[in-house]
Chains A and B, each alone.
Chain A
Amino acid sequence: MAPLLETKNLKKYFKTKAGMLHAVDGIDLAINKGETLGVVGESGCGKSTLGRVILHLLESTDGSIFYEGKDVTSVTPKELVKLREHMQIIFQDPFSSLNPRMTVSEILVEPLIISGKFSREEIEKKRKELLDTVGLPKRYANSYPHELDGGRRQRIGIGRALALEPDFIVCDEPVSALDVSIQAQILNLLQDLQEERGLTYMFITHDLSVVKHISHDIMVMYLGQMVEQAPSDELFAHTWHPYTKALLSAIPVPDAHRRMQRILLKGEITSPVNPAPGCRFYSRCPYAKEACRQPQKIEEIAPGHFISCCMAKEINGLG
């Protein structure tokens, strides 16, 4: 099966005063139709930028993006309009992603109005459907976003993304700003929508337990690069990359009896400004060796399991 979305060597650099910031640096990914790719990493690893580059909210510096096998890296404004009917985004912050001067209904139908393809009756019908789909009680139809709580606001954001019936949605930390009980409601909603409509998600998050819950495949990013990518179960069962290991062990587990051997990393994530050619995890990695200063190759260590670490075999006792 050909993937619905694919990127090849995708790059996005930003010019900053300190130098060239390699926010996304050579990302290859492929997402099959109806599946979810979880993109995990800490702040500044480029995961949000990656999502925005795929949606053309930011223009890529290099590399290519394929949608349904077609190269959509550089599109004309007209093509972009069409493309966005297939690709949408749900934002992290339900407080800043909704225009405070528009009502719930106005926000939900805005994509339909802009597309210009729907009659007034159709829009009205769709509006009611959307409220229903995302589980917003009708009495909030004419409320303003600030009158609602975080969970309901996030439902509006989801409804807006669904309005044009896209196939692919980038979910940029959609539950990070929510309380746990609300977070579970939203995660369930996203899963239901995926099952009903065969949606394809790219789910960006820093929360490994959320990503495990919702993803088919997981990609771990560090300073703009992929460090490990594998099917969800495989990644958690056989973790190869030292960064993934550290990330996994750093999560506080809500279990009174289980304690993981914690790998405490030195220092903190920096920013990929004019990075050295070697492994970007080098300065924090407990296993760093001279060889790590060389550019890292991506290796398929098991079927569908990719890592970018020259020490992996040695670390995991297979060297």
Chain B
Amino acid sequence: MDGTDMINGTERQERGRETLVDIRDLWVEYRIDGGVVHAVNGVDLTIHKGETLGLVGETGAGKTSIAKSILRVLPDPPSKITAGQIFMDGEDLLQLPEHKMRRIRGKKISMIFQDPMTALNPTVKVGAQIAEAIRLHEKMNKSEAAVRAVEMLEMVGITKERYTDYPHQFSGGMKQRVVIAMAMACHPELLLADEPTTALDVTVQAQILDMMTNLKKELQTSVLMITHDLGIVAETCDTVAVVYAGEIVEYGTMMEIFDEPSHPYTIGLFGSLPSIDRKDKRLKPIHGLMPDPMNLPSGCKFHPRCPYATEECRNTVPRMEQMGGSHIVKCLKAREKK
């Protein structure tokens, strides 16, 4: 990974970007004993063709719920998409009948998770699992699918000798490679990657991220990269959306977000990170805790933790403020601070 990747990203932007998926005003809630969890609260988000969009936020911010809504795999009950539209190729995915959606899952959109073990069947050889995933969507006979499966394995850096191995014979990183091979087998247009390297060691994480970046370039796949690690965002993403309490609080190109973080929460996230380069005496953590999603604060949802909050923030729900370029921030004070 080096600078060239990013320059490409900027160029692509200037050429005008093509929209792949457009999420409009998405609301998701979970009904559980004793109340309603407001997981996603009016999210607008655009994923562009061939780009990686980073969804950054902490545990419980609603990142995974957004991704699962796109694929429509949220368990209902208890969860429910209460409003919103998700457009892909002119169709609203949320309105598609289930049999059509089934053709999209794994074919046009696929998803990988943090724990690769949950995605693999321990009793089936890995090669056969990939071939099966291919045959689910492509009209291929067994041997053709097997050829493609071998190709996919080699693409993620696994030799074809391991085609007949079982998942338990692979290490964690290798399992994640298999999962990625399976997810990419039908050349999806969109890959939803939910913390794909969180369970891995750093040296292995570096290998996987590197492999994913190359694979993405080769297959021209768009990626929704869900992560809590700003380092991974800096390395892999073209665009970034910061999620807090089920809302996008800041959105922009990676450069815009990293050079000029404008939402107090984003600034707080950067301040919380110990740095390899600087030697800070103390970190500047964000005060307090994530709000209870069953009982969200009024006005700006970040106001109880925000060092700049005023009475206005308590009462007024902020709108998205344009900061120039594609950079937008959901904060009443953002423009003043500027």
Check A-B contact in the complex, CB < 8 A.
yes
Chain B proximity of A111: nearest CB distance (Å): 27
Q: Are B258 and A180 in contact (CB under 8 A)?
A: no
Closest to B207 in A: A264
Whether, in the assembled complex, A316 has its beta carbon less than 8 Å from a beta carbon of chain B, the answer is no
Residues of B within 8 A of A255 (CB): 234, 258, 277
Residues of B within 8 A of A256 (CB): 6, 234, 254-255, 258-259
Q: CB-CB contacts of A185-215 with B at 8 A, as 1s and 0s?
A: 1011001000000000000001011101110
Chain B proximity of A207: nearest CB distance (Å): 8
Q: Are B273 and A254 in contact (CB under 8 A)?
A: yes
- Tell me the bound Cα distance from A215 to B255 in angstroms: 31
Residues of B within 8 A of A132 (CB): none
Residues of B within 8 A of A183 (CB): 272, 285
Q: What's the tally of chain B residues with a CB closer than 8 Å to chain A?
A: 50
Whether, in the assembled complex, A123 has its beta carbon less than 8 Å from a beta carbon of chain B, the answer is no
- Tell me the bound Cα distance from A16 to B283 in angstroms: 43
* Docked complex: A119-159 residues within 8 A CB-CB of B: 149-151
Whether, in the assembled complex, B286 has its beta carbon less than 8 Å from a beta carbon of chain A, the answer is yes
- Tell me the bound Cα distance from A206 to B228 in angstroms: 16
Residues of A within 8 A of B203 (CB): 42, 246-247, 250, 265, 268-269
Q: Are A185 and B285 in contact (CB under 8 A)?
A: yes
Chain A proximity of B54: nearest CB distance (Å): 11
- Tell me the bound Cα distance from A228 to B21 in angstroms: 48
Residues of B within 8 A of A208 (CB): 202, 276
Chain B proximity of A235: nearest CB distance (Å): 11
Interface centre among B229, B273, B279 (most CB of A within 10 A): B273
Whether, in the assembled complex, A282 has its beta carbon less than 8 Å from a beta carbon of chain B, the answer is no
Q: Report, as a range, how many residues of chain A touch the other chain.
A: 35 or more
Closest to B274 in A: A213
Whether, in the assembled complex, A315 has its beta carbon less than 8 Å from a beta carbon of chain B, the answer is no
Name the one of B171, B174, B205 contacting A250, with C-beta atoms under 8 angstroms.
Answer: B205
Given A184-B283, A264-B206, CB of A252 within 8 Å of CB of B276:
no
Q: Are A43 and B201 in contact (CB under 8 A)?
A: yes
* Docked complex: A262-297 residues within 8 A CB-CB of B: 262, 264-265, 268-269
Q: How many A-B residue pairs have CB under 8 A?
A: 131
Chain B proximity of A247: nearest CB distance (Å): 6
- Tell me the bound Cα distance from A82 to B289 in angstroms: 38
Given A209-B276, A268-B204, CB of A251 within 8 Å of CB of B269:
no
Chain A proximity of B323: nearest CB distance (Å): 16
Q: Are A253 and B276 in contact (CB under 8 A)?
A: yes
- Tell me the bound Cα distance from A222 to B88 in angstroms: 47
> From DSSP, what is the main secondary structure of chain A's interface residues?
helix
Residues of A within 8 A of B276 (CB): 208-209, 212, 236, 248, 251, 253
- Tell me the bound Cα distance from A191 to B210 in angstroms: 35
Whether, in the assembled complex, A96 has its beta carbon less than 8 Å from a beta carbon of chain B, the answer is no
Residues of A within 8 A of B258 (CB): 254-256
Name the one of B201, B229, B232, B283 contacting A269, with C-beta atoms under 8 angstroms.
Answer: B201
Closest to A148 in B: B289
Q: Are B234 and A253 in contact (CB under 8 A)?
A: yes
Residues of A within 8 A of B174 (CB): 268
- Tell me the bound Cα distance from A236 to B254 in angstroms: 27
Given A181-B58, A254-B230, A256-B255, CB of A188 within 8 Å of CB of B289:
no
- Tell me the bound Cα distance from A43 to B200 in angstroms: 9
* A–B pairs, 19, beta carbons within 8 Å: A42-B201, A151-B289, A179-B290, A181-B269, A184-B272, A212-B274, A212-B279, A247-B202, A251-B276, A255-B258, A255-B277, A256-B255, A256-B258, A259-B1, A264-B206, A265-B206, A268-B172, A268-B173, A268-B201
User: Residues of B with Cβ closer than 8 Å to A?
Assistant: 1-3, 6, 58-59, 171-174, 201-207, 209-210, 228-235, 254-255, 258-259, 268-277, 279-280, 282-286, 289-290
Nearest 4 interchain pairs by C-beta = A252-B231, A184-B285, A213-B274, A256-B258
